[in-house]
Structure 1
Amino acid sequence: MFSLDAKQPVKESLLLLATLGLMFALAWINLSSTSLLTSIREQGILRVGTLNSPMTYYQDRSEDTGFEYELAQAFADYLGVELELQVANNLNQLFSFLNQRSVHLLASNLQLTDDRLKNFKPGPIYRHTTSNVIYRERRGRPAPKTLSDLYQKNLAVLANSSQAELLQKLNLEHPQLQFEIREEADTLDLMRAVQEQSLDFMLTDSFFFDTQKSFFPGLQKSFALGDAQPITWMLPGNADRELMQALQDFFNLESTQALIRDLEIRHFSPRQNPLNFFDTQSLRTHLEERFLPLETHFLQAAENTGLDWLLLAAVGYQESLWDADAVSPTGVRGIMMLTHPAAREVGVTDRTDPIQSILGGAQYLANMKERIPERIPEPDHTWFALAAYNVGLGHLADARRLTQQKGFNPDRWEDVRRHLPLLAQERYYTQLRHGYARGHEPVRYVDNIRKYMDILHWELQHSFGRLLSEQSETAERLDPESLREQSERILRNFAPSL
């Protein structure tokens, strides 16, 4: 009796453990069956992996932008959640994000290749692109037209890129096709190498080349290798049906298709670099047709801020050609091209209003000057403020730190000017706090404004002299008071800094 009674509690304990185990198993099954889409909505966060590059995501004047960033933001809005970006330094790290499940998807201008299809699940296809041969145009050297023109030449591609995968397949049938796979480089590095003739050819995405060509005037795009390939987002291989369906529904929306068309125009359309614009005749025409109605506002802005009115006028011309309705590819607008954060900082509610834009832009430039260290003397202090106005204080700080790391003076504009373009090179911007920037743009920006100031000064002096000459012909017919008023009007109009 004793032994039977002793076994009873053991049986009850085993039964209890079995019941708890069953309940735990059912809970685990229920938990594991929760869809990824449900998890995203419950957490309120969509985690997206991308690269810091001009094709995907970067900061422009301290605002987040880029084709993939804006499209991913739209998808997050569609789901009713916040977007959280995880920015990789290279393709290896990018795909590791997905393998380690630290992101829900990748949005980074990724071509759908055979190797990627083996490991990941593609989202909807939203664009096609080709991989084209890029060469330096030189007199006496014909452009490459066929694959055989690349045999025994110095050709390079990026590691883990779709172009590397393509060349590896072609090499099986064309062993004469030799190429280098570069680990520590980015596409702009390869373009620069071809420009400088240390490479004969490179292979890159056609869309990317079109966006950067104006900064490499010696480079041309030749034939495409292979057929056009689809561009898509990448998801884990076990991505559930609900998330895939949500993606498909989002991309099927007419509003999404309209957004993609708009983003392609703004980010990928082949166009001349507006910062290369420098046309004295056009400036003279705009001086007469556009500047005169705005003149009093520039003078008021100069009085409000203590800045040179010629400087403010030159900034306005560089930004918009004094066009109140101007809109940049990234959405900044108005005569002084204020971003949303900049407009909020200076109290501008309508960026297309000429008065608000000029007065607000002047105040924003004055704010930039206040944030530049006082120890930097003029005129460099102003050139630094202009660079910050264009590219943002964060990127300027990165360039100054990089300048110092290389043994140069971070408080001297000419030294920083030499290092700003390095912000577009992956081996540098991946080590900097604010990442990728089109570092050549603030260099051209400051150069152009300085030229416009000189031309404006000359034009206004010339006009002043001409009007004085015309005035002298009628001076005898004017009484002294009228003559004094006429002279003051000319001085106010054409030499207001006197």
Structure 2
Amino acid sequence: MIDTKLSRSVQDFEPRYMKKIITTFIFTLLLITFGVQCTFLEKKKEVAFWEEPVTLDLEDIKKRGYIRAVVDNSSTSYYIYRGRRMGYEFELLRNLASSLGVRLHLIIKSDIEEAFVLLNNGKADIVAMNLEISKERKKYANFSIPIGEVSTVLVQRKQGGLITDINELRNQTIHIPQGAIYKSQLQNISQDSTFSLSIVEMRDGREQLITKVLENEIKYTVVDKDLALVNSTYYDDLDVSLEISEKSPVAWAVRTNAPDLEKEINSWIAKRTKSGYLATLYAKYFLNSKNNYFRTNSAFSSLGGNRISVYDEIIKTAAENLGWDWRLLASLVYKESAFNPEATSYAGATGLLQLMPVTLERFGVEDANDPYQSLMGGVNFLKYLDKFWRERIPESNERIKFILASYNIGHGHVEDAWKLTMKYGKNPQYWEHVSHFLKLKTDPEYYRDPIVRSGYAKGHVAVNYVEDILILYNSYRVLVEP
């Protein structure tokens, strides 16, 4: 005889079990259905990088205080020579930034496609790479009025089967920079079905590819004629006589949703063209080939060598003593003396790091004219400042900014700004917050505050000083090997 309680339990269990199975099935079905739909919708939401550019126009740039431009590292665009920043695009951009009342930050790239991505992501504001305007590129950005004209030429070695006619490129391989207009130009000449041409895109810059041609690593590349002519003046084995395309306008690129910036750039180009500034600058970098040769082939050029100054060795030794990247210390030395050990300021500061006589004596410098002694005197002073700020600013990258400002204006003034930052509820460990109050030390409301001990100061000068050094250091860091 079956237990009636057990019988009822089995009868109750079956509906509950079936209900559970049905519920699980429905839940799984819904999950699959809506999960797939969600995935589909998510994929549908994906857009190309140029379709929704970051909203950031001229007013935002001015409020931020600096403009960011993408440039190429080449003998005509941007490079370092004896510690100094040079280049056609660089000088144009510096002039533009000055006219806008902002500072200039450079981003060094050779990949044009990557430059357009940075532009649309809001990490750059201008792509200043002498871009030819094409239908494809108009999707990525708007373009300024022409800043010049350029044609394209084949770069090859004179030795070993010189190509003198485009038809001779049949079945050849040409290496070009990634994202360059050269690809479509070469494709235009190979539209004939019987004309086969291999195009290899590389992440190398234009002058890097020219060097590979010279060293016989590759046979051919294509570059702007202006740049090719500059290089051919100091490389006898370089032939740049075969034109791939005729002259066409080149311009700078800005985001499609930055009309005010575009308008301002166009106005600036028109004015500088009319004044003759563009023509003068063009002659400096493209027509004066002798000077350009010495600048770009010097051991003290970021293109021809890897030295910043004749004092690199002692700067490296001093930087090791300090615990800094030697290129950061070199940036400070350039800012102070431009690597001239005999430089003397109006106030009487001398040497590579421009120390006052009392500071030289305090930090053990017996001969102010000796580059190494005066440099080490400055390093000892920097170590003193590092010790002063170490407990207050434990993060080393932030502390360096406090040290540099203190070196320029005195740590008493920077300490006053540090105290004001705490008083007004900001974070005293961040230079961005402290620098704000340092700039306010020209305002009586702040420099007469009871917690301020050092009084009035032109704090904005020290803030710009720090930024100048860090901008220069960024270029040294990118273009000069450690």
Q: What's the TM-score once normalised by structure 1's chain length? A: 0.48
Q: What's the TM-score once normalised by structure 2's chain length? A: 0.50
Flag the structure with higher helix content: 1
